[in-house]
Amino acid sequence: MTDLQQNILHCIGNTSLLALRRIRAGNGSRILLKLENENPTGSMKDRMALAMIEAAEADGRLATGGSVVEYTGGSTGVSLALVCAVKGYSLHIVTSDAFAREKRDHMAILGARLQIVPSESGRMTEKLTRDMIEAARIIALETGSFWTDQMNNRDQIAAYHKMAEEIWNQTEGRIDGFVQCVGTAASLRGTGEALRRRNEQIRIAAVEPAESPVLSGGPTGAHKIDGIGAGYVVPLWHQDIADQIEQVSTEEASAMTMRLAREEGLFAGTSTGANVVAALRLAEQLGPGATIVTIMCDTGMKYLSRR
- Say whether pLDDT at 81 is over 60: yes
- The phi and psi torsions of 143 (rounded to 5 degrees) equal -105, -15
Question: What is the Cα–Cα distance from 31 to 19, expressed in whole angstroms?
Answer: 6
Whether the full predicted model's pTM is greater than 0.85, yes or no, is yes
Poorest-pLDDT segment among 23-32, 71-80, 116-125, 243-252: 116-125
Please give the CATH topology (third level) of the domain spanning 8-38+160-306: Rossmann fold (3.40.50)
What are the tens digits of pLDDT across the range 161-210? 999 999 999 999 999 999 999 999 999 999 999 999 999 999 999 999 99
Please give the CATH number for the structural domain made up of 45-147. Answer: 3.40.50.1100
Contact 72, 150 (CB under 8 A): yes
Is residue 79 part of the annotated active site? The answer reads no
pLDDT, position 100:
82
The answer to whether the CB of 268 falls within 8 A of the CB of 11 is no
- Return the higher-pLDDT residue of 302 and 254: 254
> Among residues 29, 43, 212, 271, which one is catalytic?
271
DSSP 63: -
Which residues partner with 146 through β-bridges?
68
Per-domain boundaries in the chain: 8-38+160-306, 45-147
**Residue 118 clears pLDDT 70, i.e. is over it:** yes
Q: For the segment 47-60, what is each residue's pLDDT rounded down to a tens digit? A: 999 999 999 999 99
259-275: pLDDT as tens digits: 999 999 999 999 999 99
- Tell me how crowded residue 217 is: count the other CB atoms within 10 A of its CB: 8
Rounded-to-integer distance, Cα 161 and Cα 292, Å: 18
pLDDT given at position 307: 61
Q: For the residues of 100-133, what is the DSSP string, one character each? A: -HHHHHHHHHTT-EEEEEP-BTTBB-HHHHHHHH
Q: Which of 29, 43, 45, 96 is catalytic?
A: 45
* pLDDT reading at 257 higher than 60: yes
Q: Does 302 qualify as catalytic in the annotation?
A: no
pLDDT number for residue 306: 66
**Average pLDDT over all residues of the chain:** 95
